[in-house]
Structure 1
């Protein structure tokens, strides 16, 4: 079985998609995947599925859902079900390789190492490969419960961090002109994310568009002030001051100065 959580939850048995027959059963599986190989107490699962309004026989209904899930995840070729009973609840005993998150995290780790080695083009390619694992928001619309919501929030943060690193690798590799459009879109999609403003300012500055870069700073400053009552952080302020002072420390290093693979 393959479990896909970087988008709406899917369970794949080879090329065949396993049909999850009830929405609450899907929430149950999402919670077990969020705490893969960890025991989740039955009362926590009840709260995850029904939140503040559980039925009178919630524990018994939970047991029915567990039984149905076990049937779905078991077949003649896999006679041992991965859902195990472990007091005070249950755990899903699947390896990391069975979940699409593993491919994402592995590609991110490889991209980080390539970036540290100064191999910026290869790093950007690895980060793009990691992002290609995503099919939409993590676990789709299953985020009403505390367990799944916290897990999906962590995954979404990891995705944004990967996006930042991919942009950074592209800028370090001299791709500032071609990244401007994408960075503009990212600042609109994530207006509280200062890193994208900084990267956009840097791309514009290196493309001899200092005035546009300063306008980006003013837009970021206005949004942060209106939404949070804050001034931009130090990285944004530093690049703004460097542009105003015609300081060349944010210029792209000459080819001879760059680390080569």
Structure 2
């Protein structure tokens, strides 16, 4: 987690203060109940006077934030009947900006795959590693981290769709293979890899990727490939013209 101010990068010292601001940030402007903050900060080791302890940390964080923005006339951290709220303006939280870029790219993708690919690469370039790094926080922050990670994987899927739509199948083979290996049960990466291999004249490798995926799904979670993954295999075997550059790959995606 990093906080950037007009005068440079700022730090929030202490694990408890860091946990507090993290859970307030991932709530994206919504009030967070005090019980949730206590659980996030202390877990099973909450002090007996947890209400007073929480109020003390809130006051300390409020003073720290006020010192970072001396020109601000209202406090970012406010108390509400339902808990505490951290005001975050549009464009200030990088996670929110990332999600907005992905949504914009998804809208662009059908008619402008090159522009969508560029926007998605800029969005994915915002990532530096796991959410919150080596300080994942409590359950609320971990759930938020999982949510943002799913957005990241979706952005990668959209990026590969955009690059395939732009006819750049050969250029993304290495990236696709890495994504598939890193997420071995995510079928969409396998589908995209198969299409890219097929378009690159490697039909046997595309079918081999399908067979490996079929065995993995069967052995590890006891399921069959999805209808969309099976449809890609069938399209490769039948040399479906929609697999060629310029074809409508949306017919191979499940709803």
TM-score of the two chains, using structure 2 as the length reference: 0.91
C-alpha contact 2:194 2:206 (8 A) present in aligned 1:
yes
Q: Matched residue of 1:74: which SS?
A: helix
How far off its partner does 1:70 sit?
0.8
Q: Distance in 1 between matches of 2:160 and 2:191?
A: 11
Aligned to 1:110: 104
More displaced 10-residue stretch of structure 1: 78-87 or 188-197: 78-87
Deviation at 1:58, TM superposition (A): 2.0
Query: Among 214, 221, 228, which residue is 2:214 paired with?
Result: 221
CA–CA distance in structure 1, aligned partners of residues 150 and 232 of structure 2: 25
Using the TM superposition, give the Cα deviation of residue 53 of structure 1 relative to its aligned residue in structure 2, in angstroms. 2.5
Which of 54, 57, 67 lines up with 2:49 in the alignment?
A: 57
Q: Which residue number in structure 2 is paired with residue 257 of structure 1?
A: none
State the secondary structure of the residue aligned to 2:55.
helix
Question: What is the SS of the residue equivalent to 1:17?
Answer: strand
CA shift at 1:37, angstroms?
Answer: 2.1
CA RMSD of aligned residues (A): 1.6
Structure 1 length as normaliser, TM-score?
0.89
Q: How many residues align?
A: 245
Q: 2:244 aligns with which of 236, 246, 251?
A: 251
SS at match of 2:230: helix
Name the structure, 1 or 2, with higher relative contact order (CA <8 Å, separation 6+).
1
Deviations 1:156-202 (A, max 9, x none): 10111011000000001100111111111001111111100000000
> Can you give the 5+ residue segments of structure 1 that lack an aligned partner in the other structure?
1-8, 255-261
What aligned pairs does 1:141-156 form with structure 2 within 5 A after superposition? 141-156=134-149
71, 80, 93: which one aligns with 1:86: 80
CA contact (8 A) 1:74 1:81 kept: yes
